[in-house]
Amino acid sequence: MPCAIVEEGILLMRIFCVFGRYNYGDPSRGDGYEFTNFVPAFRELGHEVVLFDSWDRSSYRDFADLNRTFLRRVDQEQPDVIFCVLLSYELWRESLDIIRSKGSAAIINWGTDDSWKYEQFSRFVAPYVDCYATTYPKAFNKAHDQGLDNFVLTQWGASRNSLIEPLPAQRCTYPVTFVGSAYGNRRKWIEALRDRGIQVKCFGHGWPAGPVSGKDLLRIYRESILTLNFGDSGIHFEGLVPYRSRQIKARVFEVPGAGGCLLTEPAQYLEEYFRIGEEIVVFDGPDVLAERIQYLLANPEKRDAVAHRGFERVSKDHTYDRRFEDLLGKLAHRVTQRPNRSMDWVAFEQAASRHRMGPWLALLRTLCVSCTKLVWGKHRGPRAARRLAFELSWRLRGAWTYSAAGWPGRMFYRES
């Protein structure tokens, strides 16, 4: 039965969140960003929230088991909205179609990394959800040019529960910090600063200090005189042409909201959210970064002014309760007018029957993994093989990659 209710003119809903409890489904990497920020924001608005952990591969035998369990939970919970943050092909397009044909819930997917992920993922998955929320204006424009009119432009933000006014620089514990996994060119940035006499205390997966809890994360931001953000998302390809993409990340809002003073790489459209140089500080290149760190450390009153103005901006305009109130408001009519049909289990089991590896795929997996292990080693080799299969699949087969029959999902479960 429909469970949305109207209380004092506000539509309150049951929201079924589909993402990870932990970062990438791994408890050793700490609480997931979405779990830490999105769930409290929905509850702050008065909605009831249920979590389905779609990132924990240890909880299911394979993707068929994951999708079957997902549909059973939807049938059991009868949500008004299914709010997904999909990594890749963990939920099949057939499963999403079954939910939509049942009509009992509106499906939102919150897109991540659309500066590069739009081409290989978002444009193929968007036709199977009711609303595709992207934080990247270029992807939004491209989607509408391609007839994908269910794209909605939004942005990362900060949890209202995490807002706390900045400390003055003289009361901070750390001079300069960075919080985030040690991947891409981040180690090179830290080493470049060290070569210029600036020590940065780093926290996160791959650094000696290791991951930190969500509570400690916010404390570190507030107790740091300066906090760094690197916006480079690595090397990607447009056709055969490599390029590096910079994008607005959640940390851009999270740090000022927690009382930190942010120094970040530039990103397109960043000036639409902050007054550059007044509410946050931007750098481009290690020499400029080192110069601005030294200036702000030597002029704490300037640092304190930036931190306070950044905090005020995030508190006023960039909290997730504001983001989600707008986003869910666009689906209010869909939620109140929906039908409620039976789950089509026959259609699902037909899809699941196509999700078998079979001897030929098993042989192909063995050959691929054997080759990639020779190059990347025992531990990284299988993931490299999965990435190769995925890159070939989306380029050659498009949306089929995200179906039950897609080869990457059939060949690589634990590595996905």
- Report the distance separating Cα 211 and Cα 29, nearest Å: 6
Q: Would you place residue 10 in the very low, low, confident or very high pLDDT band (cuts 50, 70, 90)?
A: low
Q: Which two tokens stand for residue 315?
A: 């508190």
Question: What is the rounded CA–CA span in Å between residue 210 and residue 48?
Answer: 33
What's the pLDDT at 246?
72
Q: What is the mean pLDDT of the chain?
A: 92
Q: Where are the alpha helices (DSSP H) in 299-357?
A: 300-317, 320-329, 332-336, 345-352
User: pLDDT per residue over 236-254, tens digit each?
Assistant: 455 555 555 578 989 999 9
Under DSSP, the state recorded for 319 is B
* Cβ-based burial of 129 (10 A; exposed 0-12, middle 13-18, buried ≥19): buried
- The lowest-confidence range among 17-31, 271-285, 315-329 is 17-31
| Domains of the chain (ranges, CATH numbers) | 5-157+321-351 (3.40.50.2000), 160-318 (3.40.50.2000), 356-411 (no CATH)
- Mind listing the pLDDT tens digit for each residue in 366-402? 999 999 999 999 999 999 999 999 999 999 999 999 9
- Whether 292 and 283 have beta carbons less than 8 Å apart is answered as yes
Q: Which helix (H) or strand (E) holds 387?
A: helix 358-397
**Tokens representing residue 361 in the block:** 């795929």
| Size (the chain), residues | 416
Q: With a cut of 80, say whether residue 336 has pLDDT above it.
A: no
Higher pLDDT: 163 or 10? It is: 163
The confidence score (pLDDT) of residue 31 equals 85
Check pLDDT > 50 for residue 151. yes
307-329: b or e for each residue (b if 16 or more CB lie within 10 Å)? bbbbbebbbeebbbbebbeebbe
User: What's the token pair of residue 309?
Assistant: 């103005």
pLDDT reading at 1 higher than 50: no
Kind plus residue range of the DSSP H or E element containing 135? none
**Which tens digit of pLDDT belongs to each residue from 38-48?**
999 999 999 99
Whether 252 and 280 have beta carbons less than 8 Å apart is answered as yes
Write down the pLDDT at residue 370: 96
Percent of the chain with pLDDT over 90: 79
Question: Where are any strands of DSSP class E within 172-231?
Answer: 174-179, 201-203, 224-229
348-383 core/surface letters (b: 16 or more CB in 10 A; e: else): beebbeebebeeeeeebbeebbeebbeeeeeeebbb
